Amino acid sequence: MNASDEIGEVVGAVLILIGAIFSLISAIGIVRLPDVYTRSHAASKSSTLGVLCALLGTLLYFIISDGFFSIRLILGIFFVFLTAPVAAHVITRAAYRDKVPLAEQSVQDELQDYYRENEIVEVEVEDKAEVVNLQTK
């Protein structure tokens, strides 16, 4: 075992450890934060970073120590980086449209002004909810 193999193992282990720490912080945030909006933030930001660090550490370990390049790890990194923040945003927006209340500690609701300004309301039409924009041009 040469020095580059040892360096590869250390770098991979450190990145995997950092990923585990970020995932732990994400789990604590999901349990401790007060509402769906802040929980979504904890789940999307820190867990994405944690998974990316763990996958990157695994990729670097195998490249440096074994000389093995895995396209599956690259695809995993790409899809986690692409889908996790988008999914969190869509879930949060759906919760807001479904009128899930903000936490009592919340200071400002920026989307409320947006919906009032554009007069976006939901109208019930034959058992289907439609979003109607009442803004006149």
pLDDT digits (tens, 9 = 90+) for 26-80: 999 999 999 888 898 888 888 899 999 999 999 998 888 878 888 999 999 999 9
Angle between helices 3-32 and 36-61 (to 10 degrees): 170
With beta carbons less than 8 A apart as the criterion, state whether 84 and 44 touch: yes
Helix (H, G, I), strand (E, B) or coil at 129: strand
pTM value is 0.72
CA angle 1, 9, 43 (to 5 degrees): 170
CA 15 vs. chain centroid, Å, equals 19
